[in-house]
Amino acid sequence: MEKLFLPINIGALDLAHRVVISAATDHRRTGERCSPADYGACVRQVSPGGLVITPPVPVSATAASASVPDGFDTPGVVDAWAAAIGLAHARKAKVVARLCHPGHAPESAATLHGTGIDEVIADFCRAAEQARNLGFDGVELDAADGSLPDQFLQDGVNRRTDRYGGSIQNRLNFLCELVDAVTGVWMAERVGVRLSPFGQFRGMSDSDPVTLFTMLLTALAGQELPFVHLVRTAADGAALGHLPYEDRSAAARIRAAFPSAIIVSGAFTRRRAVDLVRSRWADAIGVAGGLAEDDADD
């Protein structure tokens, strides 16, 4: 049997296979509104023993937006998630909550100062605790696609001159501090990070992305995280199934930097997904609902 369909242990998550349901729609990209009905919909796609990573959940009212309005404090959301989690657990599947802050004014990498950073980290911790109390199996911190943590990472956006800007090491500080805080709420073995290396969504860019993300993955490995989730965006100007960092040099550096599980999401065909896992470039593949036909390969 192909490795893609064999069991895997990702930290505390014991999975029957490596096909991950990863939020059917990224509502920040499409402008579609996420509603409680989506919660059950994404869970119903998971096969027994699998993993679901939810649509984005804003960590506070300030982090909410027109397309992602419903955090755990929104009336009705708790009951909707409880029902969805119950459905998943009945199938022996796991559900990981994707916690997000889109980083819009007045809370962006350019505007956050002093206690503002501490308050955002506290918001993530509170949302993580709510997720734990609801019965989720883990949390994923969204640092992809121009989100607030992504804005701190990339020098095309981060113009800060304090300890959160300038050198790559400084630009890692916000996300690493966020991880430290959330792993004080959850055990590290149930926490992952979502990243979009080389992503250009919402104007993201970096002068040396291979070095940036290699150093970041090394740091996250040092924090003993069980997985990172690398995603593609339609706004990057490439097919979703294409990984521009797959040239031999970049791919080898990125893979070596993070020895734990790497989940890769995109519009992959079945053959492409099988090859990525067989080669161990990826340990699991994120899909919206299914893999494309093989004749759609690039």
What is the mean pLDDT of the segment spanning 168-196?
97
CA distances from 54 to 29, 34, 98, 280, 281 (A): 15, 11, 6, 25, 24
pLDDT of residue 297: 43
119-178, pLDDT tens digit by residue? Answer: 999 999 999 999 999 999 999 999 999 999 999 999 999 999 999 999 999 999 999 999
Q: Report which of residues 291 and 195 the model is more confident about.
A: 195
Judge residue 53's burial from the number of C-beta atoms within 10 Å of its C-beta, 0-12 exposed, 13-18 middle, 19 or more buried: buried
Give bridge partners of residue 51 from the DSSP assignment.
Answer: 20, 94
48-87, pLDDT tens digit by residue? Answer: 999 999 989 999 999 988 777 789 998 888 999 999 999 9
Looking up tokens 């969204």 gives: 142
Q: Where are the domains of the chain?
A: 3-296
| 3-state secondary structure string across 174-197 | HHHHHHHHHCCCCCHHHEEEEECC
What is the mean pLDDT of the segment spanning 8-23?
95
Give the mean pLDDT of the chain.
89
76-131, pLDDT tens digit by residue? Answer: 889 999 999 999 999 999 999 999 999 988 899 999 988 999 999 999 999 999 99
- 51 CB-near residues (< 8 Å, 6+ apart): 10, 13, 15, 20, 21, 93, 94, 95, 96, 284
**Residue 85: how many CA atoms within 13 Å on its side-chain side?**
17
pLDDT of residue 57: 93
Give bridge partners of residue 94 from the DSSP assignment.
Answer: 51
Q: Are 182 and 125 in contact (CB under 8 A)?
A: yes
The domain 3-296 belongs to what CATH superfamily? Aldolase class I (3.20.20.70)
Cα–Cα dist 208/154, whole Å: 9
Structure tokens at 126: 């509170």
| pLDDT class of 202 with cuts at 50, 70, 90 | confident
Cα–Cα dist 241/151, whole Å: 24
Instruction: Give the SS3 label for residue 271.
Output: helix
Cα–Cα dist 4/6, whole Å: 6
pLDDT of residue 24: 44
pLDDT of residue 163: 96
What is the mean pLDDT of the segment spanning 7-35?
76
Residue type, 152: F
Q: Are 179 and 224 in contact (CB under 8 A)?
A: no
Strand segments (E) across 65-207: 94-100, 138-142, 191-195
pLDDT of 44 > 90? The answer is: no
